[in-house]
Structures are given as C-alpha cells and as structure tokens.
Amino acid sequence: MNQIERTTVVDKLTAWQSGAIDAKAIWEWSLTAVETGTPADAAVADVMDVLVALPQDLIIVDDAGVMLEALANPIEELTESQNLVWNYFDFIDTEGRKQMLADDAFYGEFCGAAF
C-alpha cells in the first residue's frame, strides 16, 4: 500500500478550487486513494474521511479552503488541524445546501428528505 501524502491531497484540493477537476472527480479520486493507500498522518486521514463522504455530506468546493488550511499546519499541530476540520464541518448548513444543490447532477440524489 502506498501513502497518501499531504502534498498529493493539497494538489487535488487546489485543482478542485481552480476548476481543473470537479466534485465528482475529487470524490472518485478519494475513494480510490483510500482503498489503495494509507494516510500519511491524522490530518490527511481526516481530510480523506471528508472527501470520501463528499456527495452524501454535501461538501462543496467552498469547503476546500478549510481542508487546505488544516493540511498547511505543521505536523506538530495535528490536533489543531483535526479540530479545524471537524469543527468546521459540524456547523455546515446542511438544509441550506440541500436546497442549493437539489438540482445538481452530482449532489441532487443526496438532497431528498431521507438525507
């Protein structure tokens, strides 16, 4: 198994932010990466946990900045990185995102009443 390095995740998130890849592409990459690799550290593991749940949790490109910020922290600040990721995603307006993304081809199926 290979390691999922911070630099690789940063590159993917940056590509998503720039529009070089879309949400579906980063999600598919994350699924493959976690299936075939091991996160290099706890911050990478937490970001990958977010990315593999991207459509179900209605994670959008606007959220990439928080993940990048967490990955920019030095390894000595793993706890701070982890807290940043999970505190941010605990406060997402899921209902608002369901309305915003209801007609989206990728996210739409996760915007129904069952979610």
7-48 pLDDT per residue, tens: 999 999 999 999 999 999 999 999 999 999 999 999 999 999
- Beta carbons within 8 Å of 50's beta carbon, 6+ residues apart: 57, 59, 63, 67, 85, 89
70 contacts 43 by C-beta, under 8 angstroms: yes
Angle at which helices 42-52 and 78-90 pack, to 10 degrees? 20
For residue range 60-86, list pLDDT tens digits in order: 999 999 999 999 999 999 999 999 999
114 pLDDT exceeds 60? no
Taking the C-alpha atoms of residue 14 and residue 36, their distance in angstroms, rounded to an integer, is 22
Q: Is the pTM of this model over 0.75?
A: yes
